[in-house]
């Protein structure tokens, strides 16, 4: 039993000095009343005491959008290396995307990934299942299952990654009629992108400059696709989670949908709150990602939307590639930015810069993700919840160093962040101490998603 006191307890609802008690892996008491530390110390005299003076304690980060590349591309990244980096960054649970090789487009493929993860994941985990034009039956079946490690449903409406581009109306109708799981949408219109790419090739030949990326994967491609997705979701009553929102227009759409009380939620990533189109001239392939980062005005609006709670969650979209691959010319350069280790500190930095209350960080980085995905017993600093927790120093500025990823780089390296991740707890066990991994072997557990209710 351990009593934490002297620090600020940050939840989506409040940020206040207080104390909490952890026993047997779970939070059994949280108090922000006056003299909470003394009261709880008297109530639990056997508890080991940990002083968090000057620090903040929050539920561990839930990153529902990572690409750990396993199986199929373990030269770039694997479950063990990337989950270790995530843990060091204060992320205690991840949900991995289905565009691996083979693609995770069947229940069996999810089971295979769960088997691969066993004993190798430093964080808790689940694996999303990807929709195709031909697997609607299996997707519907998965939505009714209660299997630890099984994630939500991912639909690539725009970008064909493997065979996962879904454009068959009948298949989409069936998927959008699912009510028990969120439907995650990658929203970019493939036809608009193809046309833009063709034009760029005509103009520049093989030497398309990286600055063209936001013109090729244009805002129009995002907006047109999102209009269709939101309209359909509102018709069908789908729990639609719009992934990596990049444009002001999509933020406004989500805001409008919420006024209509539609079950529309939105995610952005730190990449879109940090970089803008001007960075392509300098950082080139290192910030090539899909969707493209848009303008400085979009970046500011995304920061405002995080402040206002219009953006519900922040996923890293951690998508590692080797530096040698990212150094290739535009047309051969793969898209994706490695960032899971920087995500939480980076979001704390954005919050402090924008004078956004830290409550919003707790909300976007864990509580809302737990709600939207129906994650059982995690994501909150609340009595009865599993003690996945992160302790950070909001005052401490630091320079982002070499990340722990297998690929060994991130575009955030060298930037100044606030919100240093000091300690990380997984089910009450200290696994990171003073920024250093102290756990001997991975102990992440599969996440259990509970069916969503139509409330
Ligand atoms: Zn992604």
**For 41-58, what is each residue's pLDDT tens digit?**
999 999 999 999 999 999
pLDDT for residue 268 is more than 80: yes
For the chain, give the mean pLDDT: 96
pLDDT for residue 163 is more than 70: no
227-256 pLDDT tens trace: 999 999 999 999 999 999 999 999 999 999
Contact (CB, 8 A) for 124 and 378:
yes
Separation of CA 96 and ligand 1 centre (Å): 9
pLDDT of residue 159: 46
Separation of CA 317 and ligand 1 centre (Å): 5
Separation of CA 250 and ligand 1 centre (Å): 17
Separation of CA 7 and ligand 1 centre (Å): 35
Separation of CA 71 and ligand 1 centre (Å): 16
May I ask the CATH architecture of the domain 60-371? Answer: Alpha-Beta Barrel (3.20)
Write down the pTM of the prediction.
0.97
Q: What is the dihedral of CA 84, 85, 89, 91, to 10 degrees?
A: -50
Q: What is the dihedral of CA 88, 91, 94, 97, to 10 degrees?
A: -80
Name which of 188, 187, 186, 178 is nearest 263 in CA terms: 178
190-220 pLDDT tens trace: 989 999 999 999 999 999 999 999 999 999 9
pLDDT of residue 453: 76
- Please tell me what DSSP assigns to residue 367: I
Domain locations along the chain: 2-57+382-437, 60-371
Treating both helix axes as pointing N-terminal to C-terminal, what angle do 136-143 and 169-176 enclose, rounded to 10 degrees? Answer: 0
Name which of 92, 90, 95, 70 is nearest 81 in CA terms: 70
Q: What are phi and psi of 122, to 5 degrees?
A: -80, -20
pLDDT of residue 346: 98
Separation of CA 37 and ligand 1 centre (Å): 42
Confidence class of residue 454 from pLDDT cuts 50, 70 and 90? low
Separation of CA 319 and ligand 1 centre (Å): 7
CATH 2.30.40.10 fits 2-57+382-437, yes or no: yes
pLDDT of residue 373: 98
What is the pLDDT averaged over residues 183-187?
A: 96
Separation of CA 262 and ligand 1 centre (Å): 24
How far apart (Å, rounded) are the C-alpha atoms in residues 253 and 259? 10
How far apart (Å, rounded) are the C-alpha atoms in residues 260 and 420? 39
């Amino acid at each position: 039993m351990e009593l934490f006191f002297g620090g600020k307890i940050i939840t989506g609802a409040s940020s206040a000095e207080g104390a909490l008690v952890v026993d047997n892996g779970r939070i059994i008491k949280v108090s922000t009343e006056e003299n909470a530390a003394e009261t709880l110390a008297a109530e639990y005299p056997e508890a080991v005491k940990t002083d968090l003076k000057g620090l903040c304690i929050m539920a561990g980060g839930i990153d529902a959008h990572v690409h750990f590349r396993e199986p199929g591309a373990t030269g770039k990244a694997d479950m063990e290396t990337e989950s270790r980096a995530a843990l060091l960054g204060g992320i205690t649970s991840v949900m991995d995307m289905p565009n691996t090789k083979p693609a995770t487009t069947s229940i069996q493929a999810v089971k295979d990934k769960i088997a691969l993860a066993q004993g190798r994941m430093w964080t808790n985990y689940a694996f999303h299942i990807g929709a195709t034009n031909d697997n609607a039956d299996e997707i519907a079946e998965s939505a009714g299952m209660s299997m630890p490690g099984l994630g939500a449903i991912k639909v690539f409406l725009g970008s064909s990654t493997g065979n996962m581009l879904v454009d068959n109306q009948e298949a989409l109708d069936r998927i959008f009629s699912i009510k028990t799981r969120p439907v995650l949408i990658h929203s970019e219109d493939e036809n608009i992108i193809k046309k833009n790419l063709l034009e760029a090739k005509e103009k520049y030949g093989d030497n398309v400059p990286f600055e063209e990326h936001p013109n090729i994967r244009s805002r129009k491609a995002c907006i047109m696709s999102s209009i269709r997705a939101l309209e359909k979701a509102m018709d069908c009553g789908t729990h639609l989670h719009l992934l990596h929102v990049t444009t002001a227009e999509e933020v406004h759409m989500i805001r409008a949908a919420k006024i209509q009380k539609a079950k529309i939620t939105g995610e952005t990533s730190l990449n879109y709150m940090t970089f803008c189109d001007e960075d392509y001239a300098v950082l080139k392939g290192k910030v090539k990602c899909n969707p493209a980062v848009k303008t400085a005005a979009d970046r500011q609006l995304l920061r405002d939307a995080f402040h206002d709670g219009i953006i519900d969650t922040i996923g890293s979209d951690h998508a590692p590639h080797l530096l040698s691959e990212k150094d290739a010319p535009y047309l051969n350069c793969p898209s994706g930015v490695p960032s899971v280790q920087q995500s939480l500190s980076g979001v704390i930095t954005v919050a402090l810069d924008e004078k956004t209350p830290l409550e919003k960080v707790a909300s976007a980085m864990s509580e809302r993700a737990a709600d939207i995905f129906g994650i059982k017993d995690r994501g909150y600093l609340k009595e009865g919840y599993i003690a996945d927790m992160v302790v950070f120093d909001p005052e401490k500025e630091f320079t982002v160093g070499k990340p722990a990823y297998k690929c060994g780089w991130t575009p955030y390296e060298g930037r100044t962040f606030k919100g240093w991740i000091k300690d990380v707890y997984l089910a009450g066990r200290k696994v990171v101490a003073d920024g250093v991994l102290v756990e001997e072997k991975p102990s992440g557990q599969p996440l259990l998603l509970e069916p969503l209710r139509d409330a």
